[in-house]
Amino acid sequence: MICLTALASSASRAARAPLVRGFGGPNLTRYRAYLRALVNLAGSIGAVAAGLAVQLDTRAAYLALVLANALSSAVSAAIIGRLPHLPPVRKPAETGRWIALKDPAYVVVSLLDGLMGIQGAVLVFALPLWIAEHTQAPRWFVGASVLVNTGMVVVLQVRASRGIDDTSAAGRAIRRAGVAFLSGHGPDRRSGGNELVACHGSDAGRDRPAHGG
């Protein structure tokens, strides 16, 4: 089941970019900003539900959480299935399987972007486990930490996308995001207040690479 979930997640990420390109219109940056804000709005609801389940810490609560997630995936699939068909994008004339590796700058940026992408796993998996197992914070802080993250993205994502309309602006956004990530993932965050500060710093960075990338 875990393998199937990972496979579906990878397929979803591969299909997302062509769909955004096909339906996003002339201003893809702004479209992606609104799309990301909506995704995180749904994530905020999930964060509240997860915090409640962790606080109750019962089999029934966790089972309800899993079933609700499965139901939301089925609803999403039904909605996506009603989207109009998009024609395939033509392959450029001068391309090859390894053409990207011939551009050192692209390779470096891709590697750095991959490293920064770890923040998603840190906030969704590592941080909740750390709060539950290695801090004195109440269990509902698991949901609160994710809620701070998703809530700030909902509020700030569109604003953070303003002015990012070329590669130079995108590069500046990613550099600022890196500094914000570094400030939000420092050591020795043992209290609930510090955990929320860490989320704040991470969110400041999370809003920008979505557009810079």
pLDDT in tens, 120-167: 777 777 888 888 788 888 878 878 888 888 888 888 888 878 877 777
Q: Cβ distance 146 to 156 under 8 Å?
A: no
- Low-confidence residues of the chain: pLDDT under 50: 189-197, 200-205, 207-208, 211-213
Tell me what pLDDT residue 208 has: 47
CA distance 185 to 139: 20
Number of domains in the chain: 1
CA distance 57 to 40: 24
- Numbers of helices and strands, H then E, in the chain: 10, 0
Domain residues for 143? 2-212
